[in-house]
Chain A
């Protein structure tokens, strides 16, 4: 059974595209067939994050409007032939696609792939609704900042209103040292406010910037703490019940296992 998972956030710039690229690559590393779909029509980005920008011939809108077959628009990843990108159109806007188009498209992708990850545009408008239309489940990315958490809360309500089940949360760009100084909201703070299940915590990591500069993804860099966190999230997505590790920046890997505090990655039993 293939699964369609949309990665969204409400607020822009919190790491949706980075999360999609890394989770897609991590699932492909596990030997699964994965399609990553850029649903941000008009603001294409997933291609540059994966370093595939020079290979685009057709895009999602070309498929929807029948100018090419789905297979022609899918771009194979540089490292994993079982990882494919369906790029967004850069010269159109989000009205070029409807929710029904997206449902039809995801159903086509289900036939070929184990996982379909959809990178949603920011916002709560048509683009977001199209991005979740064909999804079985939704991951919400936030950073531990007031604006991002507020928008995440709004999005959680909408995802539930669209009957996409209970979304799970990725807390991105956590700075453990700031949290310990009391200068940044902790994981518990964010979870209490949003009251949803946590699927993983990604530490702030400069290697995300340098790997993205090169069009590489952090999960392939064993020195990247963020990359290791994404690899863990991918295992959890695939159904493994493993404790959530917070990869600390001060002492390398500081195994703060949440189980010890009674916090488990709930929802991972599905």
Chain B
């Protein structure tokens, strides 16, 4: 989407929407991770990380599959809660 389109609030072009949707679908088809397995993976990840970093925000973990040029990526975004520091 170009700068001008963004400025005038024009909708994203449908071809771009199509390409993004396809990339997601294709990588999921290939990796064969069902939504159930994805949820399980997130739960396992948060359990492991919590052993080292107690402030992990288990409910906010995002795991996404991304299609890359040469390899696909399993990307995890693991937010940590900010706790007020003790003096």
Contacts and interface: CB of A to CB of B under 8 A. Distances in A.
Interface of A: 48, 51, 53-57, 90-91, 209-215
Interface of B: 14-15, 17-18, 21-22, 24-25, 29, 32, 34-36
Given A48-B21, A48-B25, A90-B29, A57 B36 contact: yes
B21 A210 contact: no
Contacts of A215: 17, 21
Given A53-B21, A53-B25, A210 B14 contact: yes
A53 B34 CA distance: 12
Q: Determine chain B's interface SS by DSSP, over half rule.
A: helix
Contacts of A57: 34-36
A51 B22 CA distance: 11
Contact of A213 (B14, B24, B25, B35): B14
A55 B25 CA distance: 11
Given A48-B25, A53-B25, A213 B18 contact: yes
B32 A214 contact: no
11 contacts: A53-B24, A53-B25, A54-B24, A57-B35, A90-B29, A91-B32, A212-B18, A213-B17, A213-B21, A214-B14, A215-B17
A212 B18 CA distance: 8
Contacts of B34: 57
Contacts of A209: 14
Contacts of A53: 21, 24-25
Q: Determine chain A's interface SS by DSSP, over half rule.
A: helix
Contacts of B36: 57
A91 B22 CA distance: 17
A215 B25 CA distance: 12
A222 B31 CA distance: 38
Nearest to A216: B14
Contacts of A213: 14-15, 17-18, 21
Contacts of A48: 21-22, 25
Contacts of B32: 91
A54 B25 CA distance: 8
A192 to B, nearest CB: 38
Q: Enumerate the 10 nearest inter-chain pairs by beta-carbon distance, A residue then B residue, closest first.
A: A213-B18, A213-B14, A210-B14, A214-B17, A57-B35, A53-B25, A214-B14, A213-B17, A90-B29, A91-B32
A178 B74 CA distance: 49
A265 B17 CA distance: 38
Contacts of B22: 48
A44 to B, nearest CB: 8
A214 B18 contact: yes
A56 to B, nearest CB: 7
A48 B22 CA distance: 9
Nearest to A210: B14
Contacts of A212: 18
A176 B66 CA distance: 43
Contacts of A90: 29
